[in-house]
Structure 1
Amino acid sequence: MAGCCPGDVSAATGGKRVQFGNRFLNDPARVFHHNAWDNVEWSKEQEAAAAKRVRENSAQRVPPEKQVEFEVNAHEYWNNFYKIHENGFFKDRHWLFTEFPELIPHQNQSDLKTLLLKDNDYEIIENTGCGDGPGLIVSNIQEQHRASSHSLDHEKQKYLMDEATQKLCHPDINTDDFPGSSATYRILEVGCGVGNTVFPILHTNNDPGLFVYCCDFSTTAIELVQVSLPVITNSEYDPSRCFAFVHDLCDEDKDYPIPRESLDIIILIFVLSSIVPDKMQNAINRLSYLLKPGGMFLLRDYGRYDMAQLRFKTGRCLSENFYVRGDGTRVYFFTQDELDTLFTTAGLEKVQNMVDHRLQVNRGKQLTMYRVWIQCKYRKSFSPNTS
């Protein structure tokens, strides 16, 4: 499977995946003993069957005139999606802070074990005596962060000196007139939906210098974030800590309400896959301008041959590996190489690009579901002229 190697891991982890790579299905008879299994090896036969299924469901393409309609009315389809579901699909992402510890300030790192222990999967890992329990996961994350920080110290110090020099040379430049201008750590989530990521960050990260921006294509989604329905979370939408706004990721004529080089983190969770492939590069390029040198993209999205791709019926394919769902929303299925090209073309450095090959299990219905997700971290260099 091109770009989808189950054993691929970040170099920063020393060749071992420490977050989700701890539960392996060594005995097929035990498949229904847990809700999910990690890094499941695909046989050549299974891979060939997946490729065959994709060829079959891609053979008949959506007519060009209908494709134009799906593009022109994309915002309506997403508005309808959120109007129908509202907050009914809200689900805590227990993996968020283990996979992306960059979202937690240093003083909160010790809280990660508590967060993990609330997640049934990690309770099982600890109770079954698997080698890497939650405590070790936290420890490894901290060690990775310290090692990464140490390796960047020299570059960062040089950048900060250059930045100070620029401010001295150009005192007339003032960009302190935007939401969150006084913050010391700024996060933007693109495609925030109803707040599945934003609210956990605001609830968990108590850094007084934190400011979170979140935007979505759908006006309905942003309205739901702003009213912050109590059933979702007890963390209210607070304009002093968060700014939610409507924005089209593909609109090259409308600027983000954030100055260039002002963000520490940009989050893309199952959002890049929703836009036309031809527009992805420009979208990443424009977002990269907003990152500070040393800032990071955090991405999680659909991988090639994911169960959702294989389930599409004939006649739903828009272009190669790009489909339209029954509700009019669209989805693309990536390879690692494709994502690497998008980010490196934007001048970013790879920190992580890995496949999460998981076998999910419905124990009640005795069903197995093969999921393929890709997770990436790409950093903006401290060197000049990267954007």
Structure 2
Amino acid sequence: MSSKCQAFVGEKTKAAEEYHSADFDFFEHKTAVDEELARDPSAYHVAEGVGPKKQPIVAEEEVWEAFHARDNATARFYKERRYLLLEFPVLTTQDPPQHVVELGCGCGSALLPILKENPGAHVTATDISPTAVQLFEAAALRAGIAPERVRAFTCNSADAGAGESLLSGLEADSLLIIFTLAALPPKDQHTMLSNAFKALRPGGRLLIRDHGVYDITQLRLRSEQKVAENLYKRGDGTLCYFFSTEDLAAKAQSAGFTTEECSYVCVQLLNRRKNFLMRRVFVHGVFRKPEA
């Protein structure tokens, strides 16, 4: 299943040709992978005998600050995620004007398309990395976004204190957590979701897109990179967790949300350089804060 995406194009950006969300069936994919791994446990490993480099133990803030300062210094590591406007149509609501908050904004790849395509929206952006926040503010300025539509600040949204001091009372209509929850261990995921609950108005929605179980990325990680069930440590020291839909919904509900949507997004992509077909699995969630 795919949807045309030409309606959501920022100035001087190229339209996405199609948005794919169901290129293959998740459960058929899971069965095939399980059968292949039963025959050959190393079927998806790309570098036999080569493990990840041992990383020093550093604070999460330092890991992500180093990433944005080193690998994302131009704020172009991630392309604008224009597909989110199709994934979450509530982000296009113009009457009444929307307040959208993002926890873990990075350089703004999720918020910039919203600001460009929904002229009445204003946003609050937070990230654990000061460099990421600065990159987002600079990108918004380059895009001609009026400064009064953007508020951005450094915040560890997986810290319980931030939920009381910085996030509580924001009264957001929608709150995005896009490929950020997976960067945390489960105990911190609960704190971030609880903080998201505090930042939303009654009736507001939490919108999540993140890594799903049986994604090719998970399958290619080696056993020595596994920290806990579905939690891995990458070579650069960052964490990556892979969600099932049941897991994601249960965690959102434990933070006080009700589930409106929770499903797998299955996208098939061709790595042209390596002529390798990749089956990507993501989780999609829409959760609502109950009315007061």
TM bucket normalised to smaller: 0.7 to 0.9
Is 2:292 aligned against 1:306? no
Q: Partner of 1:89 in structure 2?
A: 77
What is the CA-CA distance between 1:106 and the residue it aligns to? 4.3
Work out which structure has the larger RCO, using CA pairs closer than 8 Å and 6 or more positions apart in sequence. 1
| Structure ranking higher in strand proportion | 2
Q: Does 1:105 find its partner at 2:14?
A: no
CA distance in 2, matches of 1:241, 1:35: 28
2:123–2:151 Cα contact (<8 Å) kept: yes
Tell me whether 1:273 sits opposite 2:260 in the alignment. no
**Per-residue deviation, residues 27-54 of structure 1 (Å, max 9, x unmatched):** xxxxxxx997834133533233358759
Mark the CA change 1:244 to 1:381 in structure 2 (over 3 Å): closer, same or farther: same
Q: 1:204 aligns with which of 106, 111, 117?
A: 117
Structure 2 residue runs without a partner (length 5+): 5-17, 46-50
**CA distances 1:168-224 after superposition (whole Å, capped 9, x unpaired):** xxxxxxxxxxxxxxx9531101111001011111111111xx320011111111111
Query: What per-residue deviation string (whole Å, max 9, x for no partner) do you get for residues 289-314 of structure 1?
Result: 22111100000000011111111123
Match of 2:244 among 323, 327, 335: 335
The amino acid that maps onto 1:353 is: C
Contact kept? 2:269, 2:277, Cα under 8 Å: yes
State the Cα distance separating 1:320 from its structure 2 match.
1.4
Determine if contact 1:54/1:309 at 8 Å carries over to the other structure: no
RMSD across aligned C-alpha pairs, in angstroms? 3.0
Q: Please, what TM-score do these two structures have when normalized by structure 1? A: 0.62
Large movers: runs of 4+ above 6 Å: 34-37, 54-57
Cα distance in 1 for residues equivalent to 2:19 and 2:198: 40
How far has the Cα of 1:74 moved from its partner? 1.5
Q: Which amino acid aligns with 2:132?
A: A
In structure 2, how many angstroms separate the alpha carbons of the residues matched to 1:264 and 1:277?
Answer: 26
Count of aligned pairs:
265
Other-structure match for 2:36: 49
- TM-score relative to the length of structure 2: 0.80
Deviation of residue 362 (structure 1)?
A: 2.8
State the alpha-carbon separation in 1 of the partners of residues 19 and 34 from structure 2.
23
Answer with 326-335 or 260-269: which moved more.
260-269
| AA aligned opposite 1:243 | R
Larger Rg: 1
Counterpart amino acid of residue 335 in structure 1: S
1:215 to 100, 104, 126: 126
* Residues in 1 aligned to 2:131 and 2:61: alpha-carbon distance in whole angstroms: 10
Counterpart of 1:189?
102
Question: Aligned partners of 2:246 and 2:277: how far apart in 1?
Answer: 28
Question: 2: CA distance between counterparts of 1:293 and 1:316?
Answer: 40
Long gaps (5+) in structure 1: 1-16, 21-33, 108-182
